[in-house]
Structure 1
């Protein structure tokens, strides 16, 4: 296949922007190398299907991808287009990624952490931002991919440098809330707000 022939990509996307934007970053990187033809398929698991059952079926000798796609995700295998690659991010896309990959017999890329009981060999490449994955033949440990190209955003002619002699007049604070297994105590939120107030008072900065 020549570099001018579009790479046919099946993009399995869950409903979380923090996940599918990462997968879009991978696809954007591919598009900088060659044309891509992307088919996006939304993944919505039936709530009555437990993860432990899905994991057990994936590893079973009787595993049949079309059945799992239909029963757990309402995806009709007969409607899947021909593809050269499957890309996804986020835990809810683990299983459909494996299903589509085995059904079509094509490589796949997954972005994120693997569920317990899922081996890296289920994927051609796993993109991770966690140091613990370094040294794995299947993992590429990098910053989380982004579909935004900084060079296309433009840059100011002069970039101000802030420090003790040039304190910023305005600061923006981006705060992430509770997600996954991460939970924050009231005392941690109080400490964060106290820190913001202290910085504002000390620097004369508006937050």
Structure 2
């Protein structure tokens, strides 16, 4: 299936979860991503803070190929150089990562450059000026992945929707049961980790969220 690098950023956005102790990283990441993609995910992010080197690069390459077979895009968490080397669809940057303009210069005009803006609107406005493709706000709800994270809530999505002219992502504690509230607030993307990976049927959970964008 062909992936259109210029297609609108909209829909379910799946982020690979932490790998349980003793589990195989490759099998874990690929299985979760496959389920999310079958359920309709349009964007996936490879996030693994433990892996490094060739093992990390090999899994990243497989995830990019897997996403493309589903007509979706795959971006890399934090690592712009890896994203460029394997021709991933882009990168997601956090507070301590390089400016999005530098990522844009390295990855090109069609790359996805996402930026975490936590619970603040001002950094999102700066990221938009610097060439970000989308900005992410969170947490939307209490998050088991980052229980200490600052709260943003769907109301910040509404404020951002009125102030910004680029895709907006909600993240943090989103599940099939509460995703509709984030979409209704104006989110173009809903980023989900455990709401899919920890679900009894991850593919079905992904599909429930994906259909909110139909």
TM-score surpassing 0.5? no
Q: Give the TM-score of the pair, scaled to structure 1.
A: 0.34
Q: Give the TM-score of the pair, scaled to structure 2.
A: 0.33
Using CA pairs below 8 Å that are at least 6 residues apart, which structure has the higher relative contact order? 2
Work out which of the two has the higher radius of gyration on C-alpha atoms and give 1 or 2.
Answer: 1
